[in-house]
Amino acid sequence: MGLLHEGQIVRGTYEVERLVGEGGFAEVYRVKHRFMGRQAMKVFKMVGMTVKEIEEMLAEAILLSRLHHPNIIHVFDANVTETSKGICGFFTMEYVAGGSLDQFWKSYGPTFVPVETAVEIVRQVCRGLALAHSQNPPIVHRDVKPQNILVGYDHDGLRARLSDFGLAKRANPLTMLVSGRGTPAFKAPEVLKDYNADSCAGDVWALGCTLYLLLTDRLPYTDPESFRRDHARFEQPLVPASRLNAQVGPGLDRILARALAIDRRERYTDAREMLSDLENWKADAPLGGKLSHRVGSPGTDKLALGPYTPPNEEQARQMVAEAMSLAKRFRLQEAADLMEEAFNKWPRLRERYQYRVTLWREGKIC
* φ and ψ at residue 335, rounded to 5 degrees: -65, -40
Per-residue pLDDT 10s for the chain (366 aa) are: 799 999 999 999 999 999 998 888 899 999 999 999 999 999 999 887 777 888 888 889 999 999 999 999 999 999 999 999 998 999 999 999 999 999 999 999 989 999 999 999 999 999 999 999 999 999 999 999 999 999 999 988 999 999 999 889 999 888 898 888 888 899 999 998 888 889 999 999 999 999 999 999 999 987 544 444 566 778 888 999 999 999 999 999 999 999 999 999 999 999 999 999 999 998 765 444 455 655 444 445 788 888 878 888 999 999 999 999 999 999 999 999 999 999 999 999 998 999 999 999 999 987
Provide the pLDDT for residue 195: 85
* Domains of the chain, residue spans: 9-93, 101-280, 313-361
Q: Which residues contact 224 (CB under 8 A, 6 or more apart)?
A: 217, 218, 300, 303, 304
Provide the pLDDT for residue 32: 96
* φ and ψ at residue 223, rounded to 5 degrees: -75, 120
Distance CA 316, CA 152 (A): 16
Provide the pLDDT for residue 226: 45
- Picking from 292, 204, 279, the residue whose alpha carbon sits closest to that of residue 248 is 292
Q: Which residues contact 52 (CB under 8 A, 6 or more apart)?
A: none
One-letter amino acid for residue 186 of the chain: F
Distance CA 168, CA 188 (A): 16
Of 102, 143, 217, 337, catalytic: 143
Query: Bridge partners of 15?
Result: 9, 32
Provide the pLDDT for residue 227: 46
Provide the pLDDT for residue 286: 44
Report how far Cα 321 is from the mean position of its chain's Cα atoms.
Answer: 27
Provide the pLDDT for residue 49: 79
Instruction: Provide the 3-class DSSP secondary structure of residue 285.
Output: coil
Q: For the chain, what is the largest distance between any 2 Cα atoms, rounded to a whole number of angstroms?
A: 59
Q: Which residues contact 261 (CB under 8 A, 6 or more apart)?
A: 267
Q: What DSSP line would sit under 139-180, residue for residue?
A: EE-S--SGGGEEEEEETTEEEEEE---TT-EEPPTTT--B--
Distance CA 87, CA 63 (A): 22
Provide the pLDDT for residue 230: 61
Provide the pLDDT for residue 304: 86
Provide the pLDDT for residue 218: 93
* CATH of segment(s) 9-93: 3.30.200.20
Q: Could you confirm whether 143 is annotated as catalytic?
A: yes
Contact (CB, 8 A) for 64 and 165: yes
Distance CA 138, CA 294 (A): 38
One-letter amino acid for residue 202 of the chain: G
Which top CATH class is 101-280? Answer: mainly alpha
